[in-house]
Structure 1
Amino acid sequence: MTDRAEANKAVVLKVMELLIDPEVSEQARQYLTPEYIQHNPEIESGADGIIAFTKTEEARVARENMRPAPEPPVLVAEGDKVVMMISRDLPDPENPGQTYRAYWFDMWRVEDGRLAEHWDAVTKTPGTGH
């Protein structure tokens, strides 16, 4: 693994650590490019958009679903892209009282040591205006 790939993975982990806590999410701004592009249709592009999202009810629910993570995140870096897989145990709708293991994937483009672009599998939610 190259030093650049390791540095890119480290900046992704740092930003995720900051964005998971709305009390410190403003600190993530220094790790985002001014032109940060967000492909998640529920979140505005730019640092303001992702930081504002951390303070929403949607983000609170997402945090609850992500904690505690049953396994450490898996990161794969190639060129300027980093993919992260996060596992989470969710309530099983077919078996009340039980959970099942699910996985979430995110990808970022890193530019000069800062996150420049983000993709995930989120689709538009009816009734949210997005």
Structure 2
Amino acid sequence: MDDTVSGHTQVDGPTEPTDLDKTEANKSLVRGFLEDVLKGGEYDKLTDYISAETYIQHNPQVGDGLEGLGVFVKSLSEQGLTMVYDEIHRIIGCGSFVAALSKMRLGEKDMAVIDLFRVADGRIVEHWDVIEEIQPKETWVNSGKF
């Protein structure tokens, strides 16, 4: 994909974890963000989790910074869509990188989500994600996404 809102691709950015001693704290921060904000809808807590100074976004539809995230959420609302995380299946991490495997509801569709966050100085500073619709259970060949 050449044109993204932020100008970043889904594969650029740092790849080596740092702050290996902060793995558990970073996993806890990401879990709090997912539970409080994306699952609980407490958007007033965004700056408790996401850096107000630096937030790099790799989702092609979302701009950088808290403003970019706000514009994206507003555009969903204008389309009559809500985005709510239903279940957080697993959180794994290594130092500054934390990944979450979750199920969210986007409008009327169930979606499988893998979020990858980079954490620095106790805040989320970078985000990548992959989102795919979960097909109806009767079409599953195996145990499904999770």
Where on the TM-score scale, by shorter chain, does this alignment land: which range?
Answer: 0.5 to 0.7
Letter in 2 for 1:49: G
Q: What residue in structure 2 maps to residue 98 of structure 1? A: none
Residue 62 of structure 1 deviates from its aligned partner by: 3.0
Residue 121 of structure 1 deviates from its aligned partner by: 1.9
Percent sequence identity over aligned pairs: 30
For structure 2, the residue ranges without an aligned partner over 5 or more in a row are 1-19, 132-146
Q: What residue in structure 2 maps to residue 84 of structure 1? A: 100
Contact 1:75 1:84 in 2 (8 A): yes
Aligned residue among 111, 123, 137 for 1:114: 123
Residue 50 of structure 1 deviates from its aligned partner by: 1.8
SS of residue in 1 equivalent to 2:127 = strand
Q: What residue in structure 1 maps to residue 83 of structure 2? A: 62
For structure 1, the residue ranges without an aligned partner over 5 or more in a row are 91-100, 123-130
Q: 1:106 to 1:54 in 2, by over 3 A?
A: same
Q: Does 1:53 align with 2:72?
A: yes
Letter in 2 for 1:108: F
Q: What residue in structure 1 maps to residue 23 of structure 2? A: 5
Q: Distance in 2 between matches of 1:60 and 1:113?
A: 31
Aligned length: 107
Give runs of ≥4 in structure 1 deviating > 4 Å. Answer: none
Q: Distance in 2 between matches of 1:29 and 1:86?
A: 22
Q: Does 1:32 align with 2:41?
A: no
The alignment's C-alpha RMSD in Å is: 3.2
Residue 105 of structure 1 deviates from its aligned partner by: 0.6
SS of residue in 2 equivalent to 1:35 = coil
